[in-house]
Amino acid sequence: MGDSRLIQGRYRLLDLIGRGGMGEVWRARDESLGRHVAVKCLKPLGPNHDHAFTRVLRERFRREARVAAALQHRGITVVHDFGESDGVLYLVMELLDGRNLSQLLEDNKQHPLPVADVMEIAEQVAAALAYCHEQGIVHRDLKPANIVRLRDGTVKICDFGIARLGHDIGFTSRLTGTGIAMGTPHYMSPEQIGGDGVDHRSDLYSFGCVLYEIATGVPPFDLDDAWAVLVGHRDTPPRPPREHRAELPEYLERVVLDLLAKEPAQRPDDARELARRISAHRAAPAYVPAGAATGPAPGGPAGADRLPSWTRGMTTGHKATGTGLRATPADPSAGLSGEWIARPATGPVIEEPAP
């Protein structure tokens, strides 16, 4: 794609913003409305690629457009247009002027973010998640790279490539295959790992992982071995955040640990409740919870023999604040699920194409 490429006689591609395994994102100009936008393009695949896999990728791309376009909230990236030009599927979105949370941690030399910033981000993301869930949509791949903080302080959730529509389970099955877990290892819920039913509470667990990382500088299970990471999520109580960073408020630690409960029923009921709780804490910083949860530091992969078969031979990918395993091969579908940034990947999405 050259700089002068004009899509549908309207969107002029200007600068390449980022590249994923299957596509690219460009800064572009909408010639009709005279504004700058982001254009996400799915690159056409050659004849040597599996046709079924190609079909799944194209369905996922269309799905992202459909899901994101249905959402109207200040905390969710706006989709303006979708179509196909010369065999290339494209998605036109608002151009975000900011940094994702993974980049913010890198900008901060991999140190945690200020507590005030963590709480502000937490409240905004909780409100956006509440809206998504109330529309029957589960994101399923919430991670630092998929949350962007704009220069004006607004926080937005992006990338709905593997989101699930509550009323569209059959379509989801065609995209993922029955029982196939999807997500990024450092941010996956126990039920995602087990291939169990996933609902809005899985997003809450992933959100807890994100808050843990931006508050402490490390993910809950900071391990390079994928097997140990998965077992940690499923079986091991996370190390309390204040053991990493003593100055964190006790109420913030309590919120994070509640989100990281292994059983979905033990997490907050919904993101709306979570948003109200965070707002109340911010308004009353002297709040002290009834008690602080404790648990052993994450250990080795005990009980790993009970992990599902799809985990065998898997690698962790790159967490937001570490180098991870540099030898990890790129997942060919990663371009549809969070790799739209000009930086090293934060972790592949685990999936198997539908047969």
The pLDDT assigned to 213 comes to: 97
- pLDDT score of 197: 82
CATH fold label, 98-336: Transferase(Phosphotransferase); domain 1 (1.10.510)
Mean pLDDT by 10 residues, the chain (355 residues): 75 89 86 95 70 78 83 93 88 94 93 96 97 92 94 93 52 36 80 88 97 97 87 94 96 97 96 94 59 42 48 49 36 34 39 41
The closest of 53, 55, 52, 82 to 66, measured between CA atoms, is 82
pLDDT of residue 204: 97
Nearest-10 crossing angle of helices 271-283, 250-259: 170
In the chain, CATH 3.30.200.20 sits at: 6-94
Closest by CA to 208, choosing from 266, 286, 283, is 266
Q: Is 73 left (phi over 0), alpha (psi -120 to 50) or beta?
A: beta
Annotated catalytic residue within 141, 159, 222, 235: 141
pLDDT attached to residue 281: 86
Task: Provide CATH code, domain 6-94.
Answer: 3.30.200.20
Give the model's pLDDT for residue 15. Answer: 94
Answer yes or no: 15 catalytic: no
Residue 262 annotated in ligand binding: no
| Single pTM value for the model | 0.74
CATH 1.10.510.10 positions along the chain are: 98-336
